Structure 1
Amino acid sequence: MDPLDPLDPNASVTPAQTATGARIAGGGVGDGPGPEVMAAATLDGNKVMSSDGQDLGKISDIMLDVRSGRIAYAVLTEGAILGLGGTLHAIPWRALTLDTDRKCFQLDATAEQVKSSPGFDKDHWPAMADRAWGTSVHQFYHREPYWEATRGVVESDPAARIDPTTGI
């Protein structure tokens, strides 16, 4: 079976899949910001390619976890025609690789896997702050939930902790 098959209980997670952010590939380094630090608006509209070379659609939104300051998801718009319709998919940020040479994102999943992933439409968004929903999305793409990725750092560094009673 495919190591990313969401239905395969033996699907593996590699060390690259547990990194804390999206990977960057290619030699594209230019003047000004990027590719390490970029405005989110710069990435909106970027094409997303599947692991089997299919054009999946475009990034339509980048969702931030406001409290933690982390990128939670990229929203992929798949199947839109002239910007209308289409299915939206929340993609864990760490499932993406920014390809600076091809100026697109590579998703570590096949086109068929994405089509079978839970989608939603622009008028009916899921509760993205719901940990159960988020866990299921991350499990689908064989990624550790983003809120778990830095837990060890926070737990081992008292300076990184926020006092829940004061928020400081």
Structure 2
Amino acid sequence: MPTASGHTTAIRATRTVGTDVYNLDGEKIGKVEDIVLDKTDNSIMFAVVGFGGFLGIGEKFHPLPWASLDFDKEQDGYVVPFTKDELEAAPADSIDELTKDDGLHARQEAYSYYKVDPYWN
């Protein structure tokens, strides 16, 4: 069954992790490093997107609301509706910190920062 943007509603996590992420200007900003799941709600809490760094040094990990990633076939990657400045100023931490305490703090921070309606309300 397709979504409003014409995509299927189901995707395997293995197809998502490692996929490039682009901003609105078409610049590659990073890739999906992981997906954090809400086991009790059967939802995706957020995607962990790695930005910057070189060979894993200095890389920042950003929690992005899953609904903000839109797959673009032409770029063979996800496009997010945020500017480079918004992404650079966004909440970021290590993957361990993002998932600490069940990821609730990172989830709240990400949805609030990006002004995405929370799925859990």
Measured against the shorter chain, the TM-score band is 0.7 to 0.9
- Which residue of structure 1 aligns with residue 72 of structure 2? 99
Is structure 2 residue 26 aligned with structure 1 residue 76?
A: no
- Which residue of structure 2 aligns with residue 144 of structure 1? 117
Q: Distance in 2 between matches of 1:128 and 1:55?
A: 31
SS in 2 for 1:41: helix
Over alpha carbons, which structure has the higher Rg? 1
Over the aligned positions, Cα root-mean-square deviation in angstroms equals: 2.4
- Which residue of structure 2 aligns with residue 49 of structure 1? 22
Q: Distance in 2 between matches of 1:80 and 1:121?
A: 13
Alignment length (residue pairs)? 119
Cα displacement (A) at 1:72: 1.1
TM-score (normalised: structure 2): 0.82
TM-score (normalised: structure 1): 0.61
Q: Distance in 1 between matches of 2:101 and 2:71?
A: 23
Higher relative contact order (CA 8 A, sep 6+): 1
The 1:108/1:102 distance shift into structure 2, 3 A limit, reads same
The 1:35/1:100 distance shift into structure 2, 3 A limit, reads farther
Q: Distance in 1 between matches of 2:39 and 2:9?
A: 20
Is structure 2 residue 13 aligned with structure 1 residue 40?
A: yes
Q: Distance in 2 between matches of 1:53 and 1:133?
A: 26
- Indicate the structure with greater strand content: 2
Q: Percent identity?
A: 25
